[in-house]
Chains A and B, each alone.
Chain A
Amino acid sequence: QKEVEQNSGPLSVPEGAIASLNCTYSDRGSQSFFWYRQYSGKSPELIMSIYSNGDKEDGRFTAQLNKASQYVSLLIRDSQPSDSATYLCAVQRDSSYKLIFGSGTRLLVRP
């Protein structure tokens, strides 16, 4: 079992729709959770961080964390073609600076 799992996709949604990206993790000691966006040929760019159960909203992005079920998700409202990228989920263990990355989900927003 991978430590951080994501569906590789591609996830294809029409422009204006809600894109839902999911991530599960295996280490119950994980405390910090991050979503990065990576455009082809570019480095990862931090979108959201979340540390507590529940929802965290930032503009069109909402991160959701459920530690009991060991999953974290990212919702993108009003998806735009410019949102087309690979979204990486990363988990940080308690008392460690190490980030464990999932394999990423490729999102395609159709005009």
Chain B
Amino acid sequence: SAVISQKPSRDICQRGTSLTIQCQVDSQVTMMFWYRQQPGQSLTLIATANQGSEATYESGFVIDKFPISRPNLTFSTLTVSNMSPEDSSIYLCSVEQATDTQYFGPGTRLTVL
């Protein structure tokens, strides 16, 4: 499976600020995904990031709050904008490889004060 890295691994941010999370893959992949895992909860898909087109957002998530970039087939960023304590979560990127299987990066643990 692909090797996926995320930066930063964790961060503590102030309310009202923004944080950009990077996801890097060691091979070219068509589909990249961004998930959120709130404390004690399961994973919820935020959006699908396709290279060369705008991200597709799930219900309850909007581009103004979670802008996504996908400049090439190995890289994507997710920005969490105008943060509030409710945004404290683990943010995970995943990539799809053979047979519709998704593999996850190590995650970014975000705490908003």
Contact = CB atoms under 8 A, between A and B. Distances in A.
B92 A98 contact: no
A49 B41 contact: no
Given A34-B101, A49-B101, A88 B42 contact: yes
B112 interface: no
Given A88-B42, A98-B48, A103-B42, A43 B101 contact: no
B96 A97 contact: yes
A97 B107 contact: no
Given A88-B43, A97-B31, A104-B42, A44 B100 contact: no
Size bracket of the A interface? 10 to 19
A51 to B, nearest CB: 8
Contacts of B101: 34, 46, 49
Interface in A9-32: 32
Interface residues of B, number: 22
Contact of B43 (A44, A46, A49, A92): A44
B92 A43 contact: yes
Among B1, B44, B103, find the residue whose CB has the most chain A CB atoms closer than 10 A: B103
A97 B33 CA distance: 9
Interface of B: 1, 31, 33, 41-45, 48, 58, 90, 92, 96, 99-107
14 contacts: A32-B99, A32-B100, A34-B102, A43-B90, A46-B1, A46-B102, A88-B42, A92-B100, A97-B31, A97-B33, A98-B58, A101-B42, A103-B41, A103-B42
